[in-house]
């Protein structure tokens, strides 16, 4: 039996001397940051010295789950990885579904903090209360699938494995951490940090019953939450039937499906790589993460082999972004990325960037838009830092700069922008620019209101009211990531629902406003971290391409009008005109920076 | 706080909004389990009524007995092209089985033939057959020009109905603020106006209420009421939309509307004061 606050523990692993110790989450941190992303951000802000090299032993790698993890709260199986990113130099959290997070919580832990660097490759084996740091030399160099199978065989076949692939071992800046073989905490190079510490995997087996503060109340609130998921067309129909690839046709129709490295917003062959086509051609079965009634995951068959995914972002990155229309090949390329443990968004976007460099005669390489030729080999080369792959492994920002065309990198703060051309969505564009972890669609998913009309449709071309909505979504997302649940619940639940679920799970007195305040506190602390690292207003930018109109499609003639939104955003945030949180704002959020 | 539509949105409570909703399932494939779910939700949210086909009335009435949620039954649905006697019989049976409200579809073809006598007698037959039950007349506004809609409202008032209603949800167009506003201006304050068809979220609902609707027919009632909670966290939701979004002229469709009606709608686009906004497809 394990209560989040009173029983569950933070595990601190010192890799330098292979020792471990446990500690409880301090009450004030629990109340102010909950867990998950918030907990990790608070620990990292407090404990990491400014300007720490992300790939040095001094960086910390934190895995964290939240107070609703492994409870009956739908989608409550997620975990977050928090660290200083080697790709962006910012504070970074990357999260994933699957089953690993719930297993960690059932083992009695809410977080693991890795410190230092192991002398040789190791993996951590947590078997309920028993902790071992074991030799990983036999799996070092192996891909994610082999590693997972080997470690399950060596520990307990009912355990869950979070591991890096060869890309993480090689400290590729876009490498991720994989669970369930094909689920990824993919973004920001968190796998490289794990690799830099010589940690190959964290294997967990947990059998404890997870307790909530008010089980009766939680049952009631969960019943309501499930009903809302059932009543929502996105969570009850679109996502279960098609998965996230349902977005391919939708976004293409709006002229926002980035094609040929964001040179176009419409992909002629979108139908051929759509969710509908995936269902017809490759679908094997649906995949649900722990406690998820939605089931957006896919298992597909590519060239006779069962593979995970592909998700919408992956289809875009390895498809239209590179001008590629072969869905089965995309599924296989996604699988290759999963084997290597590498972020499909950044890989695909960076390859698209390289293709444009080739198109413009700035790079001599055997790849070109619209062709799959040599791309699978290139993915392997990226993961193993071979040949041209070594250049691409550092991401599009460094690649484009090296070849003299920095403007061709479609990134913010070094993180590749995902699959929505911001010229067609002003609010979402502001979200990209102000995201604390760089070009990310999940910090403030305004595609919901601006494109899908959820909860209501707002004018995608208008800048009015957008800063306010971006802040609302950023704060809500930060709090959601800290409780921690899946972003897709956002189509069905409102702020009040998240607050009610968290309150019933924790016993904390929370309503919608105080829940959002937790999110705001996290967001401001992340901003402080980034400011401390030297990031400024100049980093809240978008690539210059988005100041020129798209030439075709249903978002043609539009540009991003960032500047007026940014000023208003800072003002509403309570930040100064350089984007720094004011002391008044920090005080109002009870953030102590002393 | 913005007062985009001339009324403070904060004045409308979730409970008030819920009571204005006719929680609706009218699809031909509706199973009994769906009616059970519909009624359970109506009780949970205290909706005004459930709106269903005649075959489900008895079951719904049993589920909702001793509650304030009414049973509303559609009649002559969805075409309105059956005989007055049949509509009257349908209404009478529905009331006997427990319906408190009758939503009948008017004879649209007769109206376009200017056979107003038949249109009115058709309505009167249902009003008589419904006894104490409230009667709403569905105009199917997407099949009419504005002047035809006004005439239909006048006839409905003369026929003694309790409500005029915009659409079936199966016709060429759903409810728009433009149509609701005209209907309200025509029938005055003593007759109800029900907006139905295509109401998907709380902003749609709110705009129709602001235009004069006092009842909303929608299958998205749960989402509308739940999402209404978002409204308290930002005024930005209520920023004015592009004019064309809600305009029936923009929604007109040659494939589903009579040619003369379609062209009448589109002619309005040419002279519209907002035509400079009519550039993109969204």
- Tens-place pLDDT, residues B226-255: 999 998 899 899 888 888 888 999 889 999
List chain A domain ranges: 2-211, 243-410, 422-542+561-588
Q: Which of the residues A255, A428, A456 would you substitute to probe the B interface, choosing the one with the greatest number of B C-beta atoms within 10 Å?
A: A456
Q: How many Å lie between the alpha carbon of B266 and the closest alpha carbon of chain A?
A: 22
On whether residue B67 sits in a domain, the answer given is yes
Phi, psi of B180 (to 5 degrees): -60, -40
Task: For chain B, give the percent of residues with pLDDT over 90.
Answer: 85
pLDDT category at B280 given cuts 50, 70, 90 is: low
Whether residue B3 is predicted with pLDDT greater than 60 in this model: the reply is no
Same domain, B24 and B152: yes
Which residues 201-220 of B have a C-beta within 8 angstroms of A? 201-204
Phi, psi of A63 (to 5 degrees): -105, 135
The whole-number pLDDT of residue B278 equals 79
The whole-number pLDDT of residue A76 equals 97
Q: How far from chain centre, in Å, is Cα A340?
A: 17
CATH code for the structural domain at A243-410: 1.10.569.10
Q: How many Å lie between the alpha carbon of B193 and the closest alpha carbon of chain A?
A: 23
Residues of chain A whose beta carbon is less than 8 angstroms from a beta carbon of chain B are 227-228, 231-232, 254, 449, 453-462, 464-466, 468-469, 472, 494-497, 512, 516, 554
Q: CB of B80 within 8 A of CB of B96?
A: no
The whole-number pLDDT of residue B243 equals 85
The catalytic residues of B are 103, 165, 194
Q: What is the pLDDT of residues B193-228, one digit of tens each?
A: 999 999 999 999 999 999 999 999 999 999 999 999
Q: CB of A138 within 8 A of CB of A150?
A: yes
Least CB–CB distance from A472: residue in B41, B233, B242: B233
Q: What is the rounded distance in angstroms from the CA atom of residue B260 to the CA atom of residue A273?
A: 41
Q: What is the rounded distance in angstroms from the CA atom of residue A78 to the CA atom of residue B239?
A: 35
Other beta carbons less than 10 A from residue A50's beta carbon? 10
Other beta carbons less than 10 A from residue A224's beta carbon? 15
Answer whether A454 sits within 8 Å of B230, measured CB to CB: no
Answer whether A454 sits within 8 Å of B201, measured CB to CB: yes
Same domain, B87 and B184: yes
Q: What is the rounded distance in angstroms from the CA atom of residue A68 to the CA atom of residue A76?
A: 6
CB pairs under 8 A between A and B: 76
On whether residue B2 sits in a domain, the answer given is no
Answer whether B201 sits within 8 Å of A459, measured CB to CB: no
Q: Which residues of B touch A459 (CB under 8 A)?
A: 239, 241-242
Q: CB of A277 within 8 A of CB of A288?
A: no
Least CB–CB distance from A453: residue in B201, B232, B235: B201
Q: Which residues of B touch A497 (CB under 8 A)?
A: 226
Q: CB of B179 within 8 A of CB of B145?
A: no
Q: Which residues of A touch B229 (CB under 8 A)?
A: 494-496, 512
Least CB–CB distance from A469: residue in B200, B202, B236: B236
pTM of the model: 0.95
How many domains does one find in chain B?
2
Answer whether B237 sits within 8 Å of A449, measured CB to CB: yes
Query: SS3 helix, strand, coil % of chain B, rounded to 5?
Result: 50, 15, 35
Q: How many Å lie between the alpha carbon of A232 and the closest alpha carbon of chain B?
A: 7
Same domain, B216 and B253: no
* A422-542+561-588 CATH fold: 1.10.599
pLDDT category at B282 given cuts 50, 70, 90 is: low
pLDDT category at B1 given cuts 50, 70, 90 is: very low
Which regions of chain A are under pLDDT 70?
1
Same domain, B98 and B222: yes
Q: CB of B169 within 8 A of CB of B217?
A: yes
On whether residue B262 sits in a domain, the answer given is yes
On whether residue B14 sits in a domain, the answer given is yes
On whether residue B4 sits in a domain, the answer given is no
Q: Architecture of A2-211 per CATH?
A: 4-Layer Sandwich (3.60)
Q: How many Å lie between the alpha carbon of B97 and the closest alpha carbon of chain A?
A: 29
Answer whether A456 sits within 8 Å of B237, measured CB to CB: yes
pLDDT category at B58 given cuts 50, 70, 90 is: very high
For residues B155-168, average pLDDT: 98
pLDDT category at B27 given cuts 50, 70, 90 is: very high
Same domain, B230 and B247: no
Same domain, B74 and B204: yes
Q: Which residues of B touch A489 (CB under 8 A)?
A: none
Q: What is the rounded distance in angstroms from the CA atom of residue A215 to the CA atom of residue B203?
A: 35
Phi, psi of B78 (to 5 degrees): -100, 0
On whether residue B187 sits in a domain, the answer given is yes
Answer whether B234 sits within 8 Å of A469, measured CB to CB: yes
Chain B residue with minimum CA distance to A476? B233
Q: Does B277 touch chain A (CB under 8 A)?
A: no
Q: CB of A73 within 8 A of CB of A32?
A: no
Q: What is the rounded distance in angstroms from the CA atom of residue B263 to the CA atom of residue B268?
A: 9
Same domain, B125 and B218: yes
The whole-number pLDDT of residue B8 equals 54
Same domain, B20 and B151: yes
Answer whether A465 sits within 8 Å of B233, measured CB to CB: no
> A140 to each of A135, A199, A200, how far by Cα in Å?
10, 9, 7
The whole-number pLDDT of residue A456 equals 92
The whole-number pLDDT of residue A99 equals 98
Q: What is the rounded distance in angstroms from the CA atom of residue A187 to the CA atom of residue A184?
A: 8
Chain B residue with minimum CA distance to A490? B227
Same domain, B187 and B259: no
The whole-number pLDDT of residue A321 equals 98
The whole-number pLDDT of residue B6 equals 44
Least CB–CB distance from A228: residue in B202, B204, B226: B226
Q: How many CA atoms lie within 13 A of A378 on its CB side?
A: 22
On whether residue B115 sits in a domain, the answer given is yes
- Nearest one of A10, A498, A454 to A235, comparing CA atoms: A454
Domain that holds residue B281: 241-282
Same domain, B171 and B277: no
Q: What is the rounded distance in angstroms from the CA atom of residue A290 to the CA atom of residue A97?
A: 7
Q: Which of the residues B208, B237, B242, B276 would you substitute to probe the A interface, choosing the one with the greatest number of A C-beta atoms within 10 Å?
A: B237
Least CB–CB distance from A459: residue in B222, B229, B241: B241
What does R_g of chain B's alpha carbons equal in angstroms? 18
The whole-number pLDDT of residue B2 equals 34
The whole-number pLDDT of residue B91 equals 98
Q: Does B40 touch chain A (CB under 8 A)?
A: no
Same domain, B266 and B141: no
Q: What is the predicted ipTM?
A: 0.88
Same domain, B275 and B173: no
Answer whether A254 sits within 8 Å of B282, measured CB to CB: yes
Q: Which residues of B touch A554 (CB under 8 A)?
A: 280-282
What is the SS3 assignment for B211-274?
HCCCEEEECCHHHHHHHHHHHHHCCHHHCCCCHHHHCHHHHCCCCCCCHHHHHHHHHHHHHCCC
Answer whether B222 sits within 8 Å of A453, measured CB to CB: no
Q: What is the rounded distance in angstroms from the CA atom of residue A130 to the CA atom of residue A232?
A: 43
Q: What is the pLDDT of residues B108-147, one digit of tens each?
A: 999 999 999 999 999 999 999 999 999 999 999 999 999 9
SS3 A118: coil
What is the SS3 assignment for A539-587?
HCCCCHHHHCCCCCHHHCCCCCCHHHHHHHHHHHHCECCCCCECHHHHH
Whether residue B281 is predicted with pLDDT greater than 80 in this model: the reply is no
Q: CB of A195 within 8 A of CB of A170?
A: yes
């Amino acid at each position: 039996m394990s209560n989040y606050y009173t029983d569950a523990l933070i595990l601190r692993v010192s890799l330098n001397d292979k020792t471990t110790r446990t500690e409880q989450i301090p009450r004030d941190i629990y109340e102010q940051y909950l867990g998950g992303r918030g907990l990790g951000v608070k620990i990292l802000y407090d404990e990491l010295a400014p300007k720490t090299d992300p790939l040095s032993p001094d960086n910390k790698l934190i895995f964290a789950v939240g107070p609703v993890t492994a409870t009956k709260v739908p989608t409550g199986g997620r975990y977050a990885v928090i660290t200083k990113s080697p790709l962006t130099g910012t504070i970074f959290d990357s999260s994933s579904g699957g089953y690993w997070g719930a297993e960690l919580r059932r083992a009695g832990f809410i977080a693991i903090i890795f410190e230092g660097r192991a002398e040789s490759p190791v993996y951590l084996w947590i078997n309920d209360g028993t902790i071992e740091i074991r030799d990983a030399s036999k799996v070092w160099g192996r891909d994610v699938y082999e590693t997972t199978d080997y470690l399950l065989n060596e520990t307990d076949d009912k355990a869950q494995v979070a591991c890096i692939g060869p890309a993480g071992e090689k400290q590729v800046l876009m490498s991720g951490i994989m669970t369930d073989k094909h689920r990824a905490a993919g973004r920001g190079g968190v796998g490289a940090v794990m690799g830099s510490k010589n940690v190959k995997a964290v294997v967990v087996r947990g059998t404890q019953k997870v307790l909530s503060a008010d089980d009766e109340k939680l049952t009631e609130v969960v019943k309501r939450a499930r009903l809302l998921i059932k009543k929502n067309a996105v969570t009850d129909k679109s996502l279960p039937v098609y998965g996230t690839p349902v977005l391919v046709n939708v976004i293409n129709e709006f002229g926002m499906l980035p094609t040929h490295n964001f040179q176009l917003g419409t992909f002629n062959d979108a139908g051929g790589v759509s969710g509908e086509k995936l269902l017809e051609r490759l679908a094997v079965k649906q995949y649900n993460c722990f406690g998820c009634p939605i089931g957006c995951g896919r298992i597909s068959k590519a060239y006779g082999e069962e593979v995970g995914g592909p998700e919408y972002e992956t289809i875009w990155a390895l498809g239209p972004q590179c001008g590629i229309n072969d869905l089965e090949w995309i599924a296989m390329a996604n699988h290759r990325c999963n084997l290597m443990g590498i972020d499909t968004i950044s890989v695909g976007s960076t390859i698209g960037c390289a293709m444009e460099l080739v198109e413009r005669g700035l790079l001599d390489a055997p790849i070109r838009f619209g062709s799959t030729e040599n791309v699978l080999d290139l993915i392997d080369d990226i993961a193993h830092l071979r040949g041209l792959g070594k250049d691409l492994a550092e991401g599009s920002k460094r690649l484009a700069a090296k070849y003299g065309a920095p403007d061709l990198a479609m990134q913010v703060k070094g993180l590749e922008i995902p699959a929505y051309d911001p010229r067609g969505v002003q609010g979402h564009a502001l979200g990209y620019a102000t995201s604390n972890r760089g070009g990310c669609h999940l910090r403030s998913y305004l595609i919901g209101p601006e494109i899908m009309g959820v909860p209501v449709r707002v004018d995608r071309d208008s800048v009015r009211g957008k800063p306010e909505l971006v802040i609302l979504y950023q704060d809500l997302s930060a709090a959601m990531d800290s409780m921690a649940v899946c972003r897709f619940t956002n189509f069905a639940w409102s702020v009040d629902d998240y607050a009610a679920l968290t309150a019933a799970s924790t016993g904390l007195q929370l309503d919608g406003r105080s829940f959002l305040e937790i999110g705001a506190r996290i967001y401001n602390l992340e901003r402080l971290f980034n400011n401390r690292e030297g990031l400024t207003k100049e980093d809240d930018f978008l690539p210059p391409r988005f100041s020129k109109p798209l030439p075709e499609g249903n978002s043609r003639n539009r540009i991003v009008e960032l500047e007026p939104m940014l000023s208003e955003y800072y003002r509403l945030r309570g930040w100064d005109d350089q984007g720094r949180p004011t002391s008044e704002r920090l005080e109002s959020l009870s953030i102590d920076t002393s | 706080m913005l007062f985009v539509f001339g009324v403070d949105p904060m004045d409308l409570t979730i409970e008030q909004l819920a009571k204005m909703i006719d929680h609706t399932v009218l699809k031909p494939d509706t199973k009994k389990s769906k009616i059970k779910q519909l009624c359970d939700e109506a009780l949970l949210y205290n909706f005004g009524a459930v709106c269903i086909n005649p075959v489900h009335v008895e079951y719904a009435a049993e589920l909702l007995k001793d509650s304030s949620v009414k049973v509303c039954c559609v009649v002559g649905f969805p075409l309105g092209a059956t005989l007055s006697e049949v509509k009257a019989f349908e209404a009478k049976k529905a009331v006997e089985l427990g319906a408190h409200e009758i939503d009948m579809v008017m004879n649209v073809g007769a109206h376009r033939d200017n056979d107003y006598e038949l249109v009115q007698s058709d309505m009167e037959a249902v009003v008589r057959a419904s006894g104490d039950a409230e009667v709403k007349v569905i105009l199917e506004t997407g099949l009419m020009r504005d002047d035809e809609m006004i005439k239909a409202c006048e006839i409905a008032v003369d026929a003694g109905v309790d409500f005029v209603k915009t659409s079936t949800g199966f016709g060429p167009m759903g409810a728009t603020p433009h149509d609701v506003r005209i209907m309200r201006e025509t029938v005055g304050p003593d007759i109800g106006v029900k907006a139905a068809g295509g109401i998907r979220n709380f902003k749609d609902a709110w705009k129709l209420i602001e235009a004069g609707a006092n009842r909303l027919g929608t299958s998205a009632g749960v989402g509308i009421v739940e999402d209404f909670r978002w409204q308290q966290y930002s005024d930005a939701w209520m920023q004015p939309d592009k004019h064309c979004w809600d305009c029936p002229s923009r929604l007109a469709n040659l494939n589903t509307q009579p040619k003369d009606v379609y062209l009448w709608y589109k002619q309005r686009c040419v002279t519209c004061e907002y035509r400079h906004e009519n550039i993109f497809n969204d």
